[in-house]
Structure formats: structure tokens, C-alpha cells
Amino acid sequence: MKRHQEIELPEKLVEIIEHQAIETICPCCAQSNVGEVPTYLRGPVQYGKRFKAFCTYLLVYQLLPYERTGELLATMTGYQPAGGTLKSVLEQAYDTLEPVEAHIRQQLLSAAVAHGDETGIRV
């Protein structure tokens, strides 16, 4: 048996999920009933968690400037977030991770052994 594998990127890197809240009128009492969209959707269009995580990765780990991050995302996905949007994404990431960072810092400060590595030399 011969096997050949091809590693390929998906043609479409962005998935658009549309949530619709339909309004209906009750035929008996004529009361209007409106469906609900998920509470985390604050506006008519917003970027999802994975998209924001990828933006954060590009900005923080890959050290891409805002403009190049936007250009790369536009090339890869067809959607280019504005610089202000990218800044907001970073602020949200900071706000989310700040308590975790504070906890880790406190654990390190109260540790019996700190500032060492596998060599045993104080760093």
C-alpha cells in the first residue's frame, strides 16, 4: 500500500456565525415575542474568541506591529481589524490575564525556593 499525505491550509480561515432573533406576533393575544441572541454578542458584528486569541498571539508573541498584524489578517482571512480594535483586543487579554499574573507573582514571592534553574545557580 502506498500512502501520500498533503498538508494544506483550509480555503476559508474565517467562519461567520450569524445569530438571528426572530420576532413573531402571537395570533391569540397579539403579543410580540422576540428571540434572544447570545448575551456575549454586544454589537451587530464582533470578532470571536479564537480570532482575538490569534490577534493577541501575532501582536505579543510574534511581535508584529498593529499595521502588519492587520495586513496579515486581511491576507489570510479577508477581514482587517482596525488598529483600535487590535488595541482593544490586547486590553481585553490583559484584563483577563491580570488576576492570573498576580496569583503567579504571589506564589513566586512566597516560594521557599525561587530565582533558580536546573543548574542550581542563583540567577
DSSP state of 77: H
Distance between CA 39 and CA 2 in Å, rounded?
51
The string of pLDDT tens digits covering residues 43-74 is 899 999 999 999 999 999 999 999 999 999 99
Find the mean pLDDT for residues 73-86.
Answer: 94
Distance between CA 96 and CA 99 in Å, rounded?
7
- Name the nearest CA neighbour of 59 among 78, 75, 81, 41: 81
Find the mean pLDDT for residues 85-111.
Answer: 95
The residue among 115 and 72 whose pLDDT is bigger is: 72
7 has a pLDDT exceeding 60: yes
121 has a pLDDT exceeding 70: no
Query: pLDDT over 90 for what percent of the chain?
Result: 77
Distance between CA 69 and CA 82 in Å, rounded?
10
Domain ranges of the chain: 43-109
101 has a pLDDT exceeding 60: yes
Distance between CA 81 and CA 99 in Å, rounded?
27
pTM of the complete model: 0.76
Per-residue confidence (pLDDT) for residue 118, from 0 to 100:
74
